[in-house]
Structure 1
Amino acid sequence: MREITASGQTVEEAVQSALEQLDTTKDQVDIEVIDEGKKGLLGFGSKRAIVKVTISKDPIQETENFIKEVTKHMNVDANISTTIEANHVTFELSGDNIAILIGKRGQTLNALQYLVHLALNKDNNQFYSVTLDAEGYRGRRKETLQSLASKMADKAIHLNKKVALEPMPAFERKIIHSSLQSRGDVSTYSDGDEPHRHIVIKP
């Protein structure tokens, strides 16, 4: 039951009645006052207040359902573990055939993450940033990128010229920038247009 119409002597009483029937709290619902009611005189001509109370959609729960739906169509039975820190949500996927969801160099996972980001922020008052991970892939990819950054920076110094990396999404470019930030012998910048935007390391 996600919606209920209730009545009471006052609007507050009607809302309270609806909350009890839905077994929820005021911050979890949308309230529409259909009739504010009327007190009447000495009990005559009084009219009860009527409200319609609807349980608000939980955007994170809805997004989990969306992920389940998409992964099911990809023939992957994924388990989802969700963590929320302030306005950042991480969906960690696990299960059999999870490699299908990662794809080559995480391209499938990145595409899915983009879709999940759109799904979570659709019709939502609060903006969330999203990380979609699968079997700890993001952590492993981060280590790979940090190692690549260091290797390519050494190459740029050795050749004494700019070195361009392959195109990668913004959050991966950020990892490269960050890992080379403390090095005084190279600088980094992004070049090109999406989806071909890439990092250039120069001595």
Structure 2
Amino acid sequence: MSDTDNGKGLEAEGDVAADFLEELLDILDMDGDIDISVEAGRAKVAIIADGPSQDLKRLVGPDGEVLDALQDLARLAVQSETGELSRLMLDIADFRAGRRERLAEQAREAIAKVQETGESVSLSPMNAFERKVVHDVVLEAGLSSESEGEDPHRHVVVLPAS
């Protein structure tokens, strides 16, 4: 079992990513508090605004594209430091938390439509994080779902009960 398989390793991942992100914030002359936690078996790092979060929203970008790129860079920083692949999650200005709730609502609407019509419902393309949120909500409702297509057009299909 490698060190990153346990909580201590995940905390170390969070520390490395936090150091990388603090340097980035310094270079950009932006303010933000960094919160490190372990959630669902992966390190989670959140950059939280000290005051108005308008500056930090620039680090999220349209539809979270900049956030996804920064998450990839933070994962590379962790891998460079530890030699281990990282599944670290990064959130900035609570973007992912808000996105998670909007996706859950979208999933609940699709579930209701599937239950009403008995037919599959395809959702719009999503990244892996977003698809996971939808799959979890669908599973919780007792239905099944699957991902179809290739990135960047990969999407979730909610299936009727069999």
Q: When the two structures are superposed, what TM-score results if normalisation uses the length of structure 1? A: 0.59
Q: Which runs of 5+ in 1 are unaligned?
A: 1-57
Deviation, structure 1 residue 85: 6.4
Change (3 A) 1:192 1:122: same
Q: Pick from 65, 72, 77: which aligns with 1:119? A: 77
Deviation, structure 1 residue 75: 5.5
Counterparts of 2:99 and 2:40 in 1: how far apart (Å)? Answer: 24
Matched, 1:107 2:61: no
**Which amino acid counterpart does residue 190 of structure 1 have in structure 2?**
S
Q: Pick from 30, 45, 62: which aligns with 1:76? A: 30
Q: Does structure 2 retain, via aligned residues, the 8 Å contact 1:87–1:129?
A: no
Q: Please name the residue that 1:54 is paired with.
A: none
**Which amino acid counterpart does residue 18 of structure 2 have in structure 1?**
E
Q: Does structure 1 retain, via aligned residues, the 8 Å contact 2:14–2:88?
A: no
Identity of aligned residues (%): 30
Change (3 A) 1:188 1:61: closer
Counterparts of 2:38 and 2:61 in 1: how far apart (Å)? Answer: 25
Give the number of the structure whose residues are more often strand, by fraction: 1
Deviation, structure 1 residue 90: 1.6
**Which amino acid counterpart does residue 180 of structure 1 have in structure 2?**
V
* Count of paired positions: 145
Q: Pick from 123, 128, 139: which aligns with 1:181? A: 139
Q: Please name the residue that 1:197 is paired with.
A: 154
**Which amino acid counterpart does residue 20 of structure 2 have in structure 1?**
F
Q: Deviation per CA, 1:20-67, whole angstroms, max 9, x where unpaired?
A: xxxxxxxxxxxxxxxxxxxxxxxxxxxxxxxxxxxxxx7654433322
Change (3 A) 1:70 1:180: same
Counterparts of 1:86 and 1:154 in 2: how far apart (Å)? Answer: 27
**Which amino acid counterpart does residue 68 of structure 2 have in structure 1?**
N
Change (3 A) 1:86 1:195: closer
Q: Does structure 1 retain, via aligned residues, the 8 Å contact 2:126–2:155?
A: yes
Counterparts of 1:163 and 1:85 in 2: how far apart (Å)? Answer: 30
Q: Which of these two proteins has the greater Rg computed from alpha carbons?
A: 1
**Which amino acid counterpart does residue 122 of structure 2 have in structure 1?**
A
**Which amino acid counterpart does residue 153 of structure 1 have in structure 2?**
I
Deviation, structure 1 residue 149: 0.2
Counterparts of 2:48 and 2:127 in 1: how far apart (Å)? Answer: 23
Q: Which runs of 5+ in 2 are unaligned?
A: 1-11
Change (3 A) 1:160 1:101: same
Q: Please name the residue that 1:170 is paired with.
A: 128
Counterparts of 1:60 and 1:146 in 2: how far apart (Å)? Answer: 26
Q: Does structure 2 retain, via aligned residues, the 8 Å contact 1:87–1:128?
A: no
Q: Pick from 1, 6, 21: which aligns with 1:67? A: 21
Which one is further off, 66-75 or 157-166? 66-75
**1:153-168 → structure 2 map (5 Å cutoff):** 153-168=111-126
Choose between structure 1 and 2 for higher RCO, CA contacts under 8 A separated by at least 6 residues.
2
Aligned-residue RMSD, C-alpha:
2.7
Q: Pick from 76, 80, 93: which aligns with 1:135? A: 93
